[in-house]
Chain A
């Protein structure tokens, strides 16, 4: 292994990171250790070094139209893009982040995750966090996740063979990936199918070839308001959204699926009650839950659920009179 190239790449990174102004190529060749040989050799070296650093995720800024440089491009690495943002992560938060990244061990994204976790650990000595959660790590080992993650990150086109459930054989697809969803152990890619000119959903386990990621970047944009939920049939299921007053510290199984829990604004009830919104599968199960917890939960809306609860309670009284 030639260490000369490694050394040169480190020196180049440090020099571009240190410079306030853009550095011209000639300046780089003169100042940065490791560039030698004919002009042509140096050019070739630099082009490859630049590509290597970019492939590793280091952003090199180019300014080619700066009048000061008479159109000879200049280069630099901005410290704020190179360095981890100082987001004031507490040691506990860093612990949660590295624990989360640990879910990718033994998956295609292991190398990415290990490197990211190591850099979080560079902020300091992180202690273990007792999260009391045990996600199923086998869900993370699906093939193709690394390629799709990279394509999403770079907005690059991907090509793969896909076998539809009712089809006899696979067909080639060219897709701009827009989003990724895990649903109870299966992964789905939502993307723009370029041949069909439409947004389609692909189940990763039905991809029958290797996924090829195009080298070109920024081939498309993902709309700011894009949501995979809009395209996945599992999320389209009609659900009832219930708003209820719930006694503090009670109705635990409602709380565990709460969407929001809010304090009540100034009222006699605010001492003991909170406003909770949650979803129920249908009217029947909403009614059943509200009756089960009728000592600590008052349905406010929708009106038909509230009405049904009151009617049912009246039935109970009549039945047991």
Chain B
């Protein structure tokens, strides 16, 4: 247990370098920064006035001047630079950086910055605790759900970086969240997307990043035009195909191992068929069927076939 006098001494030692870089700060702001009352801060400043280097003539004392509005340090003596991190503090910092890195999308420019900073920190602060001794793995989906819940409770919107796997693109969208559906295969968020100006649903695992923003007024909803949908017929040789179990809600059975479904993105059905080659065949329409074949041939070409 650190004694009160010692804790106060540390505060005074840290006060001086802070004043060096914040010359002219008010007593009130200073008190707030250091988490003490204004009266205590004035006492601290009065005490600092009497501290200094051996000799203790005006030449060796810390020289500060202050009134209510402005605090200025004129001579910090040898307390001009901030105090080093203790080993405990540097461990706390390393854990926090690891956590920040975990929740930053790897495609973000910040990811590289945080990696570089982590390396800088580990070389700047000599430490007997090796890099491998600290490890942080976040539950990203849980963090996403908690952020959405917070938005719902506080009437905020969310800004997300969303990975559209079918179109293979990343978009930034502002969404007014409505509810989250948790499923065993996939969990999703339903809400009003301000970028699309329509109700949309988002697969949680495709939300690469999320932050809370002020709520935006919802504009008129553009309704999805049913004519844009394409009717696709597929045949399944393996009834347990992943595609069937994860899209059961979309499928209408029209015969033995034959299904029909409405598709809004050609790209999605083409990729889905290709990623489950043995068990799945696209029967109709012919245009999409030919596209699947062409894609596979192009890909084989990339593999030198």
Q: How far is the CB of B141 from chain A (nearest CB, A)?
A: 9
CB under 8 Å from chain A, chain B span 143-168: 143, 146-147, 159, 161, 163, 165, 168
B135 within 8 A of A: yes
**Size band of the A side of the interface?**
35 or more
Contact pick for A182, options B12, B88, B99, B303, CB 8 Å: B99
Q: Mark B177-211, 1 if CB is under 8 A from A, else 0.
A: 00000000000000000000000000000101111
Contacts of B7 in A (CB 8 A): 56
Whether the Cβ atoms of B87 and A57 lie closer than 8 Å is yes
Contact pick for B106, options A103, A109, A138, A256, CB 8 Å: A256
Q: Mark B89-121, 1 if CB is under 8 A from A, else 0.
A: 111110111011011111110100110010011
**Nearest neighbor of B169 in chain A, beta-carbon distance:** A252
Whether the Cβ atoms of B35 and A114 lie closer than 8 Å is yes
B217 within 8 A of A: no
A69 within 8 A of B: no
Whether the Cβ atoms of B274 and A93 lie closer than 8 Å is no
**Nearest neighbor of A182 in chain B, beta-carbon distance:** B136
Q: How far is the CB of A16 from chain B (nearest CB, A)?
A: 10
Contact pick for A52, options B3, B93, B114, CB 8 Å: B3
Contacts of B299 in A (CB 8 A): 294-295, 313
Q: Mark B33-47, 1 if CB is under 8 A from A, else 0.
A: 111000000010001
B253 within 8 A of A: no
Question: Which stretch in A60-68, A118-126, A168-176 binds the other chain?
Answer: A118-126
Q: Mark A181-215, 1 if CB is under 8 A from B, else 0.
A: 11111000010000000000000000000000000
Whether the Cβ atoms of A5 and B5 lie closer than 8 Å is yes
A135 within 8 A of B: yes
CA–CA, A4 to B296, complex, Å? 82
Whether the Cβ atoms of A179 and B53 lie closer than 8 Å is no
Whether the Cβ atoms of A252 and B163 lie closer than 8 Å is yes
Whether the Cβ atoms of B134 and A180 lie closer than 8 Å is yes
Whether the Cβ atoms of A121 and B6 lie closer than 8 Å is no
Q: Mark B283-299, 1 if CB is under 8 A from A, else 0.
A: 00000011011011111
Q: How far is the CB of A277 from chain B (nearest CB, A)?
A: 12
**Nearest neighbor of A28 in chain B, beta-carbon distance:** B54
Question: Which stretch in A36-44, A157-165, A285-293 binds the other chain?
Answer: A285-293
Contact pick for B96, options A55, A81, A100, CB 8 Å: A100
Contact pick for A97, options B22, B52, B117, CB 8 Å: B117
B260 within 8 A of A: no
**Nearest neighbor of B10 in chain A, beta-carbon distance:** A56
Whether the Cβ atoms of A226 and B133 lie closer than 8 Å is yes
B58 within 8 A of A: no
B212 within 8 A of A: yes
B239 within 8 A of A: no
Q: How far is the CB of A263 from chain B (nearest CB, A)?
A: 14
Q: How far is the CB of A83 from chain B (nearest CB, A)?
A: 4
Q: A14-B51, A55-B6, A185-B142 are in contact. Are A149 and B78 (CB under 8 A)?
A: no
Whether the Cβ atoms of A136 and B132 lie closer than 8 Å is no
**Nearest neighbor of B88 in chain A, beta-carbon distance:** A153
CB under 8 Å from chain A, chain B span 189-241: 206, 208-212
Whether the Cβ atoms of B129 and A222 lie closer than 8 Å is yes
Q: How far is the CB of A132 from chain B (nearest CB, A)?
A: 5
Contacts of B86 in A (CB 8 A): 56-57, 112, 153
**Nearest neighbor of B297 in chain A, beta-carbon distance:** A317
Q: How far is the CB of A30 from chain B (nearest CB, A)?
A: 9
B21 within 8 A of A: yes
Q: A87-B124, A109-B92, A180-B134 are in contact. Are A2 and B273 (CB under 8 A)?
A: no
Q: Mark A250-272, 1 if CB is under 8 A from B, else 0.
A: 11110111100000000000000
Whether the Cβ atoms of A119 and B83 lie closer than 8 Å is yes
**Nearest neighbor of A83 in chain B, beta-carbon distance:** B81
A240 within 8 A of B: no
Contacts of A219 in B (CB 8 A): none
Whether the Cβ atoms of A184 and B5 lie closer than 8 Å is no
**Nearest neighbor of A306 in chain B, beta-carbon distance:** B303
Q: How far is the CB of B144 from chain A (nearest CB, A)?
A: 8
Whether the Cβ atoms of A118 and B14 lie closer than 8 Å is yes
Whether the Cβ atoms of A319 and B277 lie closer than 8 Å is yes
**Nearest neighbor of B80 in chain A, beta-carbon distance:** A83
Q: How far is the CB of B288 from chain A (nearest CB, A)?
A: 10
Q: A155-B128, A257-B106, A295-B295 are in contact. Are A317 and B300 (CB under 8 A)?
A: yes
CA–CA, A93 to B292, complex, Å? 48
Q: Mark B1-25, 1 if CB is under 8 A from A, else 0.
A: 0111111111011100110111000
Contacts of B139 in A (CB 8 A): 136, 184-185
CA–CA, A7 to B87, complex, Å? 25
**Nearest neighbor of A180 in chain B, beta-carbon distance:** B134
Whether the Cβ atoms of A179 and B21 lie closer than 8 Å is no
Across the A-B interface, give the 5 residue pairs with the lowest CB-CB distance, nearest first: A57-B86, A227-B132, A153-B87, A184-B139, A179-B133
Apart from A87-B120, A184-B139: 7 A-B pairs, beta carbons within 8 A: A11-B52, A32-B54, A58-B83, A82-B84, A92-B113, A180-B133, A321-B293
Between-chain CB contacts (< 8 Å), 13 pairs: A1-B8, A5-B5, A13-B9, A87-B120, A87-B121, A100-B97, A119-B18, A132-B211, A136-B139, A140-B99, A154-B87, A227-B130, A316-B273
